[in-house]
Amino acid sequence: MATTSQPPLRFTTHHNLVYRLVLSTLTGRTVHISQIRSSSPTNPGLAPHEISFLRLLEAVTNGSEMEISYTGTILVYKPGLITGSATGVGASGGVIHHELPSNCSRGLSYFLIPLCLLAPFSKSPLKVLFTGPGVITSATPTGDMSVDSVRTAILPLYNQFGMFNNVELRILKRSNPGPNGRGGGGEVQFTFGHQIRLPKTLHLMNAGRIKRVRGVAYSVGVSGSNNARMIESARGILNPLSPDTYIFSDVASAPLVPAPDKSNPNAKKKIGLGFGLSLVAESSTGCLYSADVASPPSGGEAPEDIGRKCAFQLLETISKGGCVPPAAVTTMLTLMTMGSEDVGRLQVGREVIADPNTIQLARDLAKFGAPGWGIRDATGENENGDVIVSVVGRGIGNIGRKVA
């Protein structure tokens, strides 16, 4: 590749590591990331979930090279071509089987949201089956959203960019975080079969009004009455504001993971017990706002508290304004940057654009050669102090797919 002759882009610390690797893969630029938890006396270097994401990148690309220092505090990543699941490492029958280790403390959305950014630009359809003792499908204490919210609040956003065929996310086994917030034992199948040449230019500047609220209450290995209690408390807050509120109930058995000992090498144990609630509000213009709360791994929180907390979190997300919530702003702005060489516009709340992660994304995009954002105050009757972010597309698109 011609891009290999360019000097690597240099970054420091583990913050925003995943999205820097995604941007590196999309643009073909080599990155050098140093000082990864170098000051940590107990766990320096890359964490287990970050190493697992690197293995996932290796599986969905062809020709990627990774160099990790002995202490794990320095990473050099040379991206390859995004090939999908046809020839990926660990692919069987066109499906990549990716196993997460038991010491993984991040929810599956940590892997899914970046993978969704890569999938439209792959050479062939992307099919990944996430298994292993480290798969957590619920929301986590580290701030990851649940797989339900990825399915109902993140994937529909790709319709705005012209990607809507053969996109599916199925939860085969549910799981909450295990002891100390690590491991889960869930199983999730992800399929993204709509590859395009370039994402469409987006103009989304009318948030509209909330017309319906949907949600999923889930219980894993505990009584299904917890779902009814969460739904009742959440509806008590949301019904006066939105009568069209419907929350599904899903009761699942706890997953089993291997736990061998001397007396029984084939022993298994239950893991991932708990319950949680995922809520998504949809506006009249198709904007989506999500909220996620799950029971803590240590327990001790009533289902009524979880339901109320999730409902208030949803209202807080809506109150921040704009057409996109904080959880989806990275996806939207990255796809706008990768699109055709035209100016796309997106209305965003002031709190969302001022979030440190959003600011860091703008800096990283500028370092990868993307033009800066234009920001101006929104005008009109529904602006509520929002801003309009203008993004010029780079026209990078899908180099493996020549026909749209």
Query: With bands split at pLDDT 50, 70 and 90, how would you rate the model's confidence at 3?
Result: very low
- Given a cut of 70, whether residue 99 has pLDDT beyond it is yes
What's the mean pLDDT in 152-162?
A: 92
Residue 394 has what pLDDT? 85
pLDDT, residue 400, reads 56
Helices 17-27 and 356-367, interaxial angle, to 10°? 30
Q: Is the pLDDT of residue 277 over 90?
A: yes
- What was the pLDDT predicted at 396? 78
pLDDT of residue 114 exceeding 90, the answer is: yes
Question: Does position 218 have pLDDT exceeding 90, yes or no?
Answer: yes
Q: Mind listing the pLDDT tens digit for each residue in 356-377?
A: 999 999 999 999 988 778 999 8
Give pLDDT tens digits for 9-68. 999 999 999 999 999 999 989 999 999 998 888 889 999 999 999 999 999 999 899 999
Contact 231, 249 (CB under 8 A): yes
Q: Which pLDDT score, from 0 to 100, does residue 403 have?
A: 45
pLDDT of res. 89 = 52
pLDDT at 214 over 70: yes
For residue 249, the model assigns a pLDDT of: 95
Q: Given this model, what pLDDT does residue 130 score?
A: 95
pLDDT of residue 153: 94
pLDDT at 93: 58
What is the model's pLDDT at position 1? 39
pTM recorded for the entire structure? 0.92
Range in 191-195, 393-397, 398-402 with the lowest mean pLDDT: 398-402
Higher pLDDT, 126 or 381: 126
Average pLDDT along the chain: 89
Give me the pLDDT at residue 73, please.
92
pLDDT value of residue 272? 86
pLDDT > 60? residue 401: no
When pLDDT is averaged across residues 214-239 and rounded to a whole number, the result is: 94
pLDDT band at 4 (very low <50, low <70, confident <90, very high): very low
pLDDT band for 92, please (50, 70, 90 cuts). low
Residue predicted with more confidence, 69 or 384: 69
Confidence at 382, pLDDT banded by 50, 70, 90? low
Average pLDDT (61-90) is 85
Residue 77: pLDDT band (50, 70, 90) is very high
pLDDT in tens, 279-292: 999 999 989 999 99
Whether the pLDDT of residue 2 is over 50: the answer is no
Q: What is the mean pLDDT of residues 230-255?
A: 93
